[in-house]
Structure 1
Amino acid sequence: MTQLRSVVRGIGSALPARVVTNEELAKTVDTSDEWITQRTGIRQRYIADKTETTSSLALAAARKALADAGMDASEIDLIIVGTSTPDNTFPSSATQVQDGLGIRHGAAFDLQAVCSGFVFALATADKFLTSGSHKRALVIGAEVFSRILNWEDRTTCVLFGDGAGALVLEAQEQDGAVTDRGILTTHLRSDGRHREKLYVDGGPGSTGTVGHLRMEGKEVFRHAVGMITDVIEDAYAATGMTSDDLDWFVPHQANKRIIDASAQKLGIAPEKVVLTVDRHGNTSAASIPLALAVAYEDGRIKGGDVVLLEAMGGGFTWGSALLRW
């Protein structure tokens, strides 16, 4: 029996112009390259200037993804932007991308699940496409986390960066087997009891201010590996696959130690893990599509490859997506 699958048609990414190294940060914050690298694996990050916003980065990534797909913007009927740092409280950054692309039809909206935002957006788009209600989607992760950091807090400001990545998905009839191209399964989780471990201390409905990011790093690390493996094991159970079947593991790029521990626990070989945290830092919802773009552009990810995505973010939220490129 045939089945509609959400197939990747194109990918693109965008980064701010300014690179900030650990050495540069150490000039203004009580930290060092050695301290940051040993604890996180981060060596640099990209920081947006006043002219670069979530929607401008998302739009640039979307245009590259459409070019890679060989597709005109008019063929898109759904845009979902995963972000926790929209340009405005409203309208959504997705509608600004829609306008920038000259699209006057379909739906466009933002989705907020912090660092899990791209996986949540991907799963949501997959439901639209496989239901038959929409045909082609732009799924974007875009952030300017530098806007919500306390640049005097060395425990958090060194971790994050800005950027955007985008995928073009198209609903295509497949055989209904795990050998199909496209998204094979997605699994999402949330648990609001953990708010105090990772949150922003402001918002339009509470303080009327943007606020700053607050994090209990040790607590986040303690929960991360277990939560990540939970949704990955669900993906394996749903498809009958194992870590041996993977070609690539593309995790949320938050901390190299978390990534290494998760891969080891799941039995994923180190050479299958895509790592970009060293060059991008933690770009929240943008981190997975940015990492995917790097591995695609350098020739690692190819058609037919089995790719596993996972992320965990504030809330807590966490999720996985298993797809065949």
Structure 2
Amino acid sequence: MPEVYITRCEKYLPNEPVSNDEMESFLGLINDSVSKARRIILRNNKITSRYYALDKNGNPTHSNALLTNNAIKQLFDENFTSQDVELLSCGTSTPDHLLPSHAAMVHGLMKNKSVELNSSSGVCNAGMNALKFGFLSVKSGNTNNAICTGSERVSSWMLADKFENEIENLKRLEEQPIIAFKKDFLRWMLSDGAAAFLLENKPNGENPLKIEWMEAFSYAYELEACMYAGGDKLENGEIKPWSDYKSNDWLEKSVFSIKQDVKVLDQYILVKGAESMKAAMDKNKINATDITYFLPHVSSHYFVAGLNKELLERGVDIPFDRWFMNLDKVGNVGSASIYLMVEELKNSNKLKKGDTIMLSVPESGRFSYSYAYLTVC
């Protein structure tokens, strides 16, 4: 079987970086009140800047498909053009439409030729699932190359006006007009952006990254949903879908907002993450000393010490000087975050031949995890 290499990495981050103090000027005030949770959440996640596909009046400046295409365009030059692409595999949590698929909308902007398409949905693992589809296609010889992407445009989901009907409904019920923490929490965590990889069956270019293996795990068979949108969580843990609500409830209950069950998150995200990572390493017969750079996608720096502790308890000792993250600068960009870390590291001039890179991506949707092991060639 052919080997598979990430030969090019590019990113697209919209507009100018947004500081912590500017966030509410972009997203707006809910009920004309400054969020009481914002400063606490930002202090824990240690994010200092992020990017929004919005102007300062809250108007969208880019679609998700456009962000993705802008990242893809930077992969092309005279040696590899859009006409050479054989497969486009795109992952996102926040597509512009229910239908058509995200990959189809991106391909519509590329305007190159007929290619095979794959769209991966979900939460943070959407990007890794898109990467694995491309990896397996090139590995099997089905295609000679693939473009794989991760992207998010979540800022427009978090604008204050999306919650106005819910606030008005609470006022009518004479309840405290504050949206639930499970919704407010994520307004200060998530960011916009896109990144793209070119996968080829030859080690072209500078510092190509050979994909040695990829592994994925799901604990949905035993754990309830944690992060969700387009529905609401019932007391028994099930998700009632948006299509089962009356249309006026969609706005009054902010059914389409992104929500996270923080209690469930804290209970399982690190334990299952360390458990699955150890299983992936054991299956592929590597240990911590075989990892030059560890790239963990974490939604918040709050989880870093806890993840290290859980890994140490399972005999996985990766010193912090081998961890590589850029969460503080670009924010949590969901399915694009791991792509953005790889892009920055690959283009940093830090890598040397023989270095190894471990990618770790948790997804709190219903607790899924993805891993990849790369070698610098």
TM-score by length of 2: 0.76
- 1:206-221 matches, within 5 Å, as 206-207=244-245, 211-221=256-266
Change (3 A) 1:189 1:161: same
1:246 aligns to 2:291 (yes or no): yes
**Post-superposition offset of 1:312:** 1.5
Which stretch shifts more, 6-15 or 30-39?
30-39
Paired letter, 2:319: A
Equivalent position of 2:123 in the other structure: 114
Matches within 5 A, 1:293-308: 293-308=343-358
Residue pair 1:16, 1:57 contacting (<8 A) in 2 also? yes
State the partner residue of 1:83.
92
1:236–1:274 Cα change, 3 Å: same
The alpha-carbon distance between structure 1 residues 71 and 261, as it changes in their structure 2 partners (threshold 3 A), is farther
SS at structure 1 position matched to 2:76: helix
Residue type of the alignment partner of 2:43? Q
Equivalents in 2 of 1:125, 1:204: separation in Å? 32
1:39 has 2:44 as partner: yes
Deviation digits for residues 234-277 of structure 1, max 9, x if unmatched? 33223322111212111214111323432452311111111111
Provide the aligned C-alpha RMSD in A: 2.6
CA shift, 1:62, in A, is 1.0
**1:231 to partner: Cα distance:** 3.0
Question: Does 2:202 correspond to 1:197?
Answer: no
Aligned to 2:213: 185
CA distance in 2, matches of 1:221, 1:120: 24
Q: What's 1:176 paired with?
A: none
Higher strand share: 1
2:2 aligned with 1:4: yes
Instruction: Number of aligned residue pairs: give it.
Output: 316
Deviation at 1:37, TM superposition (A): 3.7
How far off its partner does 1:150 sit?
A: 6.3
Q: Which has the larger radius of gyration?
A: 2
Q: Does 2:268 correspond to 1:223?
A: yes
| Correspondent of 1:170 among 194, 200, 203 | 200
1-structure distance, mates of 2:277, 2:271: 10
Contact preservation (8 Å) 1:58, 1:165:
yes
Corresponding letter in the other structure for 1:276: N
List aligned pairs for 1:42-191, cutoff 5 A.
42-49=47-54, 50-67=60-77, 70-149=79-158, 151=160, 153-172=183-202, 182-191=210-219
Please tell me whether the aligned partners of residues 42 and 188 of structure 2 are also in contact (alpha carbons under 8 angstroms).
Answer: no
Query: Unaligned stretches of 5+ in structure 2?
Result: 55-59, 161-178, 232-240
Q: Which residue of 2 aligns with 1:319?
A: 370
Percent identity reads: 22
1:214-234 deviation digits (Å, cap 9, x = unpaired): 112232133122222233223
Change (3 A) 1:317 1:172: same
Aligned partners of 1:206 and 1:300: how far apart in 2? 52
Structure 2 residue matching 1:47: 3-state secondary structure: coil
Structure 1 stretches (4+) deviating beyond 6 angstroms? Answer: none
* CA distance 1:239–1:144, shift in 2 (3 Å): same
Displacement of 1:172 after TM fit? 4.1
State the 1:206 CA deviation: 4.7
TM-score by length of 1: 0.87
Please say if residues 37 and 185 of structure 2, whose CA atoms lie closer than 8 Å, have aligned partners that are also in contact. no
Q: Which runs of 5+ in 1 are unaligned?
A: 174-179
1:255 aligns with 2:300: yes
Cα gap change, 1:17/1:170 in structure 2, threshold over 3 Å: closer, same or farther?
A: same
Q: Where does residue 327 of structure 2 map in the other structure?
A: 277
